[in-house]
Amino acid sequence: MRGNPRKPPHSSPKLFKTVLLIIGRVFITRAVLVLEDGSVWEGKGFGAIAKVSGEVVFNTGMVGYPESITDPSYYGQILCQTYPLIGNYGVSSKGLESPKPMIKGYVVSEMCATPSHATSEKTLDQWLKENGIPGISGIDTRALTKRLRIKGVMLGILQTYEKKTDLDLLKEEAKNIPDPNERDLVSEVTTKEIKTYNKKGDKTIVLIDCGVKENIIRCLVKRNVKVVRVPADANFKKIMSFSPSGVLISNGPGDPKKSEKAIRVVKKLMDGEMPVFGICLGNQILSLAAGGDTYKLKFGHRSQNQPCIEEKTGRCYITSQNHGFAVAPESLSKEWKPWFTNANDRTNEGIMHRSKPWISVQFHPEASPGPVDTEFIFDVFLGVMK
Concerning whether 366 is annotated as a catalytic residue, the answer is: yes
Query: Is pLDDT above 60 for 220?
Result: yes
The values of phi and psi at residue 72, to 5°, are -60, -15
The whole-number average pLDDT for the span 5-14 is 49
Q: How far apart are the first and last CA of the chain?
A: 89
Report the pLDDT value the prediction gives residue 11, as an integer from 0 to 100: 46
Single out the catalytic residue among 80, 210, 219, 280. Answer: 280
pLDDT in tens, 105-129: 999 999 999 999 999 999 999 999 9
Domain 26-181: assigned CATH number: 3.50.30.20
Residue 354: burial class (beta carbons within 10 Å; 0-12, 13-18, 19+): exposed
Distance CA 207, CA 48 (A): 34
- CA-nearest of 252, 196, 188, 189 to 220 is 196
Domain 186-385: assigned CATH number: 3.40.50.880
CA distances from 202 to 216, 245, 260, 274, 359 (A): 17, 10, 32, 18, 21
The whole-number average pLDDT for the span 45-52 is 97
pTM of the full structure: 0.91
CA distances from 119 to 93, 95, 100, 291 (A): 9, 11, 17, 47
Report the pLDDT value the prediction gives residue 3, as an integer from 0 to 100: 47
- CA-nearest of 93, 100, 86 to 120 is 93
pLDDT in tens, 57-89: 999 999 999 999 999 999 999 999 999 999 999
Report the pLDDT value the prediction gives residue 15, as an integer from 0 to 100: 53
Single out the catalytic residue among 301, 323, 353, 364. Answer: 364
Confidence of residue 310 (pLDDT cuts 50, 70, 90): very high
Query: Is pLDDT above 70 for 2?
Result: no
Query: Is pLDDT above 50 for 9?
Result: no
Residue 375: burial class (beta carbons within 10 Å; 0-12, 13-18, 19+): middle
As annotated, the residues of the chain forming the CATH 3.40.50.880 domain(s) are 186-385
Which residues, listed in sequence order, are joined to residue 229 by a DSSP beta bridge?
A: 195, 207
Query: Is pLDDT above 60 for 4?
Result: no
Distance CA 308, CA 311 (A): 9
Single out the catalytic residue among 55, 97, 349, 366. Answer: 366
pLDDT in tens, 329-374: 999 999 999 999 999 999 999 999 999 999 999 999 999 999 999 9
CA distances from 329 to 220, 260, 283, 300, 368 (A): 28, 20, 11, 17, 27
Distance CA 278, CA 264 (A): 15
As annotated, the residues of the chain forming the CATH 3.50.30.20 domain(s) are 26-181
Concerning whether 364 is annotated as a catalytic residue, the answer is: yes
The values of phi and psi at residue 366, to 5°, are -80, -10
Residue 118: burial class (beta carbons within 10 Å; 0-12, 13-18, 19+): exposed
Query: Is pLDDT above 60 for 212?
Result: yes
- In this prediction, what percent of the chain has a pLDDT beyond 70? 93
Q: How many residues does the chain have?
A: 386
E strand or H helix that includes residue 15 = helix 13-28
Query: Is pLDDT above 80 for 385?
Result: yes
Report the pLDDT value the prediction gives residue 368, as an integer from 0 to 100: 95
pLDDT in tens, 126-157: 999 999 999 999 999 999 999 999 999 999 99
Confidence of residue 242 (pLDDT cuts 50, 70, 90): very high
Query: Is pLDDT above 70 for 25?
Result: no
The whole-number average pLDDT for the span 153-178 is 95
The values of phi and psi at residue 231, to 5°, are -60, 155
Concerning whether 210 is annotated as a catalytic residue, the answer is: no
